[in-house]
Chains A and B, each alone.
Chain A
Amino acid sequence: MPFVLPVLYAVVIVAVLPLMAGYIVLMERKVMADMQARLGPMRVGPHGLLQPIADAVKLLLKEDIIPNEADRLMFWFAPLVSVTMALLAYSALAIGPAFQIADLNIGLLFILAISSLGIYGIVLGGWASNSHYSLLGALRSAAQLVSYETAAGLGLISVLLLAGSLSMKDIVQAQSDQGVWFGFSVPFGFFIYLVGSIAETNRAPFDLPEAESELVAGYMTEYSGFRWSLYFLAEYANMIIVAGIATTLFLGGWLRPGARYHEHIPGTGVEWLDALPALLTLGVALYSLKLAPKQPVKIQKIVMVMVAVLCFGVACVLAGALFAPPAVMQGIHGAFWFMAKVFAYIYAFLWIRFTFPRYRFDQLMRLGWRFLIPLALVNVIGVGVAIVLRQQFAWGPIVSLIPTTLATLGVAMLLAKDDAPIVDAQTADGE
């Protein structure tokens, strides 16, 4: 029965994802608080751990308001489009060597296509709300998404040239074969995709369409309760998917860092880096145990100990996998490394959100069209030249990319200097 495994994976992903998105929201609020020297949600559950569940219950119980003159069919349909496209994109993502719903041989393009379909959720939502702010926010957001989608896609092409295939699994395999993650061989491709993905998901500093102080909440203004939570879920699912793509393409997917470093722990057949997941989780467990007695409230002490026990359990599973058949070990460790990299990327998103001020819309469009797209084109040419150097003149895989990366850096600096006067004789576009 060939359908059992993909359907099982799909069910797992659809079931786990809303919970994960909720806890990423909590993580965001805690990280935001930490960077702003405060504590974040602490009241609901110990250290705010039950906050997402409280939010979910509240949103489900809220009154469902539909504006009077709104187009009811579109109003109902728009969040559906957003969420469906966000969840559909997971079908081509490869989380481990065997954990993939469908190994499409056009996997990467498929995810790009589905992301571009997600724009309709925003545009139709803005239209259906029958309000000026929503429509303007929606159109701005759609313009931004289309522009940065072009830039991000061009950034991905440089990886495509190096990997030679569109299938997600093949791209990770190529990184394994070449011994270097593409994020290190094409740093400019990584940078372009990073910026493009932040703009794609409407995150700060590109979140003008949904900023609270600008257009109320943009296209989401008239949505409340469950419909709003669908949009919210779509946004965070999009964030995870974009992090997943970046991890697969630039950060080696499920590969262990230092894939060629095979030093063994003396006395056993286990490599140091293979033991790293178990050691890391064990470290977290011990740290939780150390913090437990210092908690002010008894319930927090208990939760800290429970967290320690949970991490210890995970460490045991990871260590046990070392002695299992290689397929199982690769699967479990692969999933661990993939999730670790995805969370690192999302942490970078959060970090950037609370560091940089927001871009004004014309600055945003100027950045996309006049800096990122030319830079991405030069990057593609550079990678092409590097591949020719590698094939015709037999330079090594990393050495061939150094001169082209330096050339791209030069072009980037030229482009940035060109764009320096943001406020000049031409007035900003009046919206």
Chain B
Amino acid sequence: MAVASAILMVTRRNIVHGAVFLINTLLSTAGIFLLLQAEFLFVVQIILYVGGIMVLFVFVIMLVNLDVSMRQVQFNRQWFVAGALALVLAAQFLFAIHATQAGRDPLRLPAMAAEISPKNTEAVADALFSHYMLPFEIASILLLVAMIGAVVMAKRRVG
């Protein structure tokens, strides 16, 4: 369903329909997280991605007048190269999936912990605050810098 929504999102002419199918794609991804027993990621994906970022997307879509762009030609002339690149990427994905299932380790991902805590929330919290503390703090500072930058850029001069 995630794939179907993604295809529909890209092919809709009406951009609001496209946004709704993007929402559907993100919800399906969240569902995949749930199927993999990562319930915290499921919920956080919905709250942040669908409930926050997509709302902003939809805001911008609705505030911008899109009649002009909707009447233009939708597919450009570079589709051959794009198609070839997409096929190469698909071949890489298929190879990686096949090789991982066959037991070889083409991606060399770090080994998972020997015992996985039954509750995803605690496991994520444990990992964030012990192994991944430095990236967590750096990401927080990055977000803070972005927020301050946005506020400064949007501030109007008084008087």
Which residues from chain A sit less than 8 Å from chain B, CB to CB? 71, 73-74, 77, 104-106, 109-110, 112-114, 116-117, 119-120, 123-124, 126-127, 135, 139, 142-143, 146, 149, 166, 425-426
Contacts and interface: CB of A to CB of B under 8 A. Distances in A.
Interface in B35-53: 39-40, 42-44, 46-47, 50-52
A74 B16 contact: yes
B62 interface: yes
Interface string B1-31: 0000000000000101100100100000000
Contact of B63 (A114, A117, A139, A149): A139
A124 B158 contact: no
The prevalent SS among residues of A at the interface is: helix
B158 A105 contact: no
Contact of B158 (A77, A109, A135, A425): A425
Contacts of B119: 105
B55 interface: yes
A127 B62 contact: yes
* Secondary structure of the B contact surface, majority rule: helix
| Interface size bracket, B side | 20 to 34
Contacts of A104: 39
Contact of B47 (A71, A77, A112, A120): A112
B47 A116 contact: yes
Contacts, number: 70
Given A71-B16, A123-B58, A142-B55, A426 B47 contact: no
Contacts of B47: 109, 112-113, 116
Contacts of A114: 46
Interface in B51-78: 51-52, 55, 58-59, 62-63
A135 B64 CA distance: 12
B62 A116 contact: no
A166 B121 contact: yes
Contact of A146 (B52, B121, B156): B52
A215 to B, nearest CB: 15
B55 A123 contact: yes
A3 B51 CA distance: 30
Given A104-B39, A127-B62, A146 B44 contact: no
A154 B121 CA distance: 17
Contact of B121 (A106, A124, A126): A106
B110 interface: no
A116 B39 contact: no
Given A117-B46, A425-B158, A142 B20 contact: no
